[in-house]
Structure 1
Amino acid sequence: MLENTKINTFVALGDFLRQFSLDNNLRNPEIQNNDTFFDSFEALLELSQSHNGWFTKEQVCFAVNSWAEALTKSNLNQWLSNYDFSKITPKTVGLILAGNIPLVGFHDFLSVLISGHTVLVKTSSNDQHLIKFLAKYLIVAEPELANRITFTDGKLENFDAVIATGSNNTARYFEYYFKNKPSIIRKNRNSVAILNGNESHEDLVSLGEDIFRYFGLGCRNVSKLFVPKGYNFDAFFKAIFEYQDVIHYEKYSNNYDYNKAVFLMSNFKLLDNGFLTLKEDSSYSSPISSVFYENYDSLPDLINRLKKDEDQIQCFVSNGLTENSIAFGQTQKPQLWNYADNVDTLEFLISV
């Protein structure tokens, strides 16, 4: 399949997804295959929370809109312009996908197909409907893809390389099981924000987006704050009050009640605003409805520490306090060329 054909197929998918939003779905008569797919995708958005209680319509629509913004011809051309796919011999690449947030594995799926390989997908039971639907759309838009997309419910077999995402525990299994295959094995990571006390109210409101989007379930969600000694959290709590409605979601509320009770029974000191707890803790991984924090004396010393721990960190968020830091509110809006774990997926796919 010619590269332009592949690009145009994913652009068509982006155009299709652009019709859907939280408040109003607008059917565009010029969009390919709407008669076949529009109504059924609209129904899938409504049913997503019944498939996964964390996948509220708001969160699923955010993911869909993010992919609609990403899948434009200019974005795809910019992403692919630095790669040479001419020497690729098509292989079968197995994908073991996570299911913590909607469409979390779609970038790997896209990367395999756009590079010219065949994809063999094992979805998570927590997110198996959305990506399969998008695959069906792609196959109708470009029938040649029918022979290059396969989903399996069993273990992966007959593949040449693999990209697997899971926990630290499952990663050990993956590393053993796939030791004889070219692989990318992704483990647990978390994202951190560094504050210095000079952040504006708008900055801190945006930081709330990094914390609460997808209920904090993604590796790009901020789960840890670093603040200077003596930092006053009043401005932080005032800013994130805009996200108070999160407590009305039953699964989040249950986690808030449970984790707060566990902390209090253990006599931990907490800062609490009724829908989020802050706990001083050296770990990067906080439970749902809680964010850990640490005080720092010296910003250069903190940056040196974070560099040593970079294999545990997905995103650094700040007002430019660290190299390659992400602006507040942008962690869940990665570009196509922002790779998970800073591992270039396309370079890997070219090399297999």
Structure 2
Amino acid sequence: MDSINVKLSFVELGKFLSQFTLAEQLEGNDVLHNDLYFEKFKDLLALSQSHNGWFTPEQVYFAVQSWAEALAEDNLNEWLSKYDLSEVKQKTVALILAGNIPLVGFHDFLSVLITGHKVLVKASSNDQHLIQFLANYLISVEPKLSYYISFTDGRLENFDAIIATGSNNTARYFEFYFKDKPNIIRKNRNSVAVLNGKESHDDLVNLGEDIFRYFGLGCRNVSKLFVPKGYSFEAFFKAIYEYKDVIYYEKYSNNYDYNKAVFLMSNFKLLDNEFLTLKEDASYASPISSVFYEYYEDIADLQKRLTNEAEQIQCIVSNDLISNSIPFGQTQQPKLWDYADNVDTLKFLLSI
């Protein structure tokens, strides 16, 4: 973008977001446009749960702080250092965003603008307020961005490429409807953890973070455990007891009661601690308040299986038992270069 420093605009946004934590909201003296936006954002965060019942203060502030850290200038520089942004031929890129967790589509929004393209956003009705607010803040920092950012509630028109996120069913529609445009079409994925029984108490507590953050609604949440034959879940249940208060949230509790009842009526054998059920199941996608598990006999065979089924998996968590796995407790703290579905969004955007 001529005469526009998009990166520094996002750095300023990161400074703005850093003021908002669950514990306190402290207005900084050196943050741009606090006079216009600080109180308004504070009010919006307070209203988030009325817009989407899953967006509790704890979850929304976690997402905001994650982005505050990600948008630090050092992080942006490290991310962008691998790419040549000098020869971009500007296009309009449409985004169809999901709304399962707060600001889930913000990485695509950032990626389009940081590569010099215009962005046309179709936000999810479940998460439309936060991203529009952040877009307005960016435009206040750099008014010329108003020519590069647009939102629509209706039919997507006049765009050159698209990044669309949805279910496996909507993905089939997207693939047909957008077959003549350069595209990234994202489908359902789930994350798994591989255990061997040697995990520490802290490892398993951190695994609880991977399971319960955002109530398990994200594709980076662990929904499936692979454990060795004869594995005892006693240490696992002891560690995740720290997350017991999740059952006091009504929407989660309703899902727990319903899904547990469905399992029991089907005569499935369950492990249960009164706020999470474990069910032996070959599937990756478990319902809210439940985690599936499966036994393995040979770690090398499991590695081959996970490689063969990579298109169904977003993250693998383990203590280096599986190649390219990440540490416990890190699934919902991705770096800017940890791309969804392992598709390099910037490389795509630089190729269109």
Query: Matches of 2:179 and 2:123 in 1, distance apart?
Result: 21
Which consecutive unaligned segments of at least 5 residues does structure 1 have?
A: none
Which residue is 2:213 aligned to? 213
Matched to 2:316, the amino acid is F
Residue pair 2:4, 2:144 contacting (<8 A) in 1 also: no
Which residue is 1:158 aligned to? 158
Equivalent position SS for 1:268: coil
Matched to 1:92, the amino acid is T
Change (3 A) 1:119 1:183: same
Matched to 1:348, the amino acid is F
Q: Deviations over 1:222-268 (max 9, x none)?
A: 00000000000000000000000000110000000000000000000
Which residue is 1:84 aligned to? 84
Equivalent position SS for 2:162: strand
Query: Matches of 1:319 and 1:264 in 2, distance apart?
Result: 33
Query: Matches of 1:4 and 1:121 in 2, distance apart?
Result: 20
Query: Matches of 2:283 and 2:27 in 1, distance apart?
Result: 47
Which residue is 1:121 aligned to? 121
Residue pair 1:3, 1:114 contacting (<8 A) in 2 also: no
Query: Matches of 1:3 and 1:25 in 2, distance apart?
Result: 33
Which residue is 2:225 aligned to? 225
Equivalent position SS for 1:338: coil
Which residue is 2:318 aligned to? 318
Residue pair 1:210, 1:221 contacting (<8 A) in 2 also: yes
Residue pair 2:37, 2:137 contacting (<8 A) in 1 also: yes
Residue pair 2:79, 2:337 contacting (<8 A) in 1 also: yes
Q: CA deviation at 1:57?
A: 0.6
Change (3 A) 1:77 1:4: farther
Residue pair 2:20, 2:26 contacting (<8 A) in 1 also: yes
Query: Matches of 1:281 and 1:155 in 2, distance apart?
Result: 40
Which residue is 1:349 aligned to? 349
Q: CA deviation at 1:323?
A: 1.2
Matched to 1:219, the amino acid is C
Equivalent position SS for 2:7: helix
Query: Matches of 1:210 and 1:2 in 2, distance apart?
Result: 41
Residue pair 2:13, 2:138 contacting (<8 A) in 1 also: yes
Equivalent position SS for 1:197: coil
Give the TM-score taking structure 2 as reference length. 0.99
Which residue is 1:294 aligned to? 294
- The alignment yields a C-alpha RMSD, in angstroms, of 0.8
Which residue is 1:51 aligned to? 51
Q: Deviations over 1:61-96 (max 9, x none)?
A: 000000000001100000000101111111000000
Q: CA deviation at 1:2?
A: 5.4
Matched to 2:177, the amino acid is Y
Matched to 1:168, the amino acid is N
Query: Matches of 2:342 and 2:311 in 1, distance apart?
Result: 10
Residue pair 1:162, 1:183 contacting (<8 A) in 2 also: yes
Equivalent position SS for 2:294: strand
Residue pair 2:17, 2:65 contacting (<8 A) in 1 also: yes
Give the TM-score taking structure 1 as reference length. 0.99
Q: Which moved more, 1:217-226 or 1:321-330?
A: 321-330
Residue pair 2:98, 2:104 contacting (<8 A) in 1 also: yes
Residue pair 2:115, 2:346 contacting (<8 A) in 1 also: yes
Which residue is 2:24 aligned to? 24
Q: Which moved more, 1:174-183 or 1:81-90?
A: 81-90
State the identity %.
Answer: 73
Change (3 A) 1:2 1:244: farther
Query: Matches of 1:309 and 1:340 in 2, distance apart?
Result: 16
**How many aligned positions are there?**
352
Which residue is 1:99 aligned to? 99
Matches within 5 A, 1:270-285: 270-285=270-285
Which consecutive unaligned segments of at least 5 residues does structure 2 have?
A: none
Query: Matches of 1:12 and 1:277 in 2, distance apart?
Result: 43
Residue pair 2:4, 2:142 contacting (<8 A) in 1 also: no
Q: CA deviation at 1:6?
A: 1.3
Q: CA deviation at 1:3?
A: 8.6
Query: Matches of 1:4 and 1:274 in 2, distance apart?
Result: 54
In the TM superposition, structure 1's runs of 4+ consecutive aligned residues that sit over 6 Å from their partners are none
Q: CA deviation at 1:132?
A: 0.3
Query: Matches of 1:346 and 1:44 in 2, distance apart?
Result: 30
